[in-house]
Chain A
């Protein structure tokens, strides 16, 4: 599995030579393309996930990606379709289970999640010919990303972003202030279902890069980092995209030159960004406290 079995290419610190060497392989070019598309889509959807506190839903959906991919391979279909079919189906099930209430049925989804992970393992065991074993599905790989896969990822990604561009402002309103939004005629409930479907599609994309266990690396960490750095919606959205792109491409480069799985590197880089942002935020707060604070300007009458 991975390049460890053959030979790990050596990093030379000659960046141009390194990238030329890396991009001389078509699968690496595909990986960078797929990574870019996925990073943008996951960061934008993930920004709303963080705002709406739906990380548990994202986690549930990503758990479903594992049996989805394994099952598709077992059936002889491309794993890409397995990811999308099961992630979107899972999102719809979550939407249906929630019914009219806003709470998530955590015990039920937890139970189903555990069962599906077991099913995924079973599929892999049944499919004896699968070379990589569960690790590539769980922790991601850049090997074997085909041009077709890049096309599918791009097509779905454009669709997701187009829908978000259409409903973005209403979704923001419904996420921050559902009662007032409903009073203004915003279809809060329909938006919530639509967003779960987008979440399913984005999770399916992220799973193919970071692996199903580490989707938070692209879905949650960049958005959380960006929201820590700024409270301006447009700016933090743009920042989340940049952070996700950086983590993905750095991760791809690191994974190419080392024997460890891609998801590990993407997660590590994203996490390093998060820790840095928290550190900067804390430093800023401390400095603000030390500086003599101005008298409160609030008018009380």
Chain B
């Protein structure tokens, strides 16, 4: 298939208009507030003796929506793991919620990549959400009518309502659709009122209406509840008009800034060292043409063939 045809195909998926990306109106608030939620300074990471990315500078303030973009295998999920403290940074400085990574995980909501429950998982959605609240406690919950139990129930019901999952949260989660499961998992990540949400490709494997609905939900949580969001995405378009900031990872380096600054032909060409073109479709969607493929060694199972795809 020729590149133009692929571009057309990628653009043909759009069914909605996209307003201009948000501007940096949060920065002043972030500076005035309690300091950055995430701060990376010249950070680098190595796995298996290979440097995935380095020289990443990033400051995310409270209530900001940041997207982490880049080809498969570039180290986007690895960045989330670094922020969780599951993997040490190989260089530079990383601070999360004012502490070393891993020190404040109780204040972080995490949604790992590609998680779905198959039909035989006979546990209700509310149970999965509730584990996010107190699943790390010792002991077993006793079915006694205590005040604590009532508070737990209320909080779970509240967060299920917030993500719009009340209609199916009592069903076994294995019998919910992909979009329904994703909402319940977002509720699980939110149930402890985190200050930071780390979402690894939450729109993956959702159909287009569900992608924009879940993206809108995350945008609403971010800007209305003031939760900072770091979201790994394959396609920037469903979240473009919610975004404050993007991090574009490439083999070796990274580009950070507002979407208008970063997702441009000039910045991406410089980042990848090969001609990359960013096209804007008439409806505002961005299409990145010529972005190089992932590094040679990668075991990611969901590689997308071809050198052309929507940004991300």
Contact = CB atoms under 8 A, between A and B. Distances in A.
B138 A176 contact: no
B139 A168 contact: yes
B272 interface: no
Contacts of A169: 131, 134-135, 137-141
A236 B179 CA distance: 27
B35 interface: no
B115 A170 contact: no
Interface string B88-116: 00000000000000000110101110010
B304 interface: no
A230 B123 CA distance: 8
A231 B123 contact: yes
A180 B179 CA distance: 19
Nearest to B200: A179
A180 B188 contact: yes
B106 A233 contact: no
Contacts of B209: 300
Interface string A146-179: 0000000000000000001111111011001101
Q: Which residue, of A51, A166, A186, A233, has the highest number of chain B Cβ atoms within 10 A?
A: A233
Contacts of B167: 296-298
A186 B138 CA distance: 10
Nearest to B106: A184
Chain A interface extent, by class:
20 to 34
A169 to B, nearest CB: 6
Contacts, number: 99
A259 B84 CA distance: 61
Contacts of A291: none
Contact of B86 (A183, A232, A298): A183
B136 A182 contact: no
A208 to B, nearest CB: 27
A169 B139 CA distance: 6
A177 B135 CA distance: 10
A296 B172 CA distance: 17
A180 B123 contact: no
A171 to B, nearest CB: 9
B125 to A, nearest CB: 9
Interface of B: 84, 86, 105-106, 108, 110-112, 115, 117, 121-124, 127-128, 131-132, 134-141, 143, 164, 166-168, 171-172, 179-180, 188-189, 209-210, 212-213, 216
Closest 4 CB pairs of A and B: A173-B135, A297-B167, A168-B140, A299-B164
27 contacts: A166-B138, A167-B138, A168-B139, A169-B131, A170-B135, A170-B137, A173-B136, A176-B117, A176-B121, A176-B127, A177-B128, A177-B131, A179-B110, A180-B110, A180-B112, A180-B132, A180-B189, A183-B112, A184-B106, A185-B136, A186-B136, A228-B122, A231-B122, A231-B124, A236-B122, A298-B179, A299-B213
Interface of A: 51, 164-170, 172-173, 176-177, 179-186, 227-228, 230-234, 236, 296-301
Given A179-B110, A231-B123, 16 more contacts: A166-B138, A169-B131, A176-B117, A176-B121, A176-B128, A177-B115, A177-B128, A177-B131, A179-B115, A180-B112, A182-B86, A231-B171, A232-B124, A298-B168, A300-B213, A301-B212
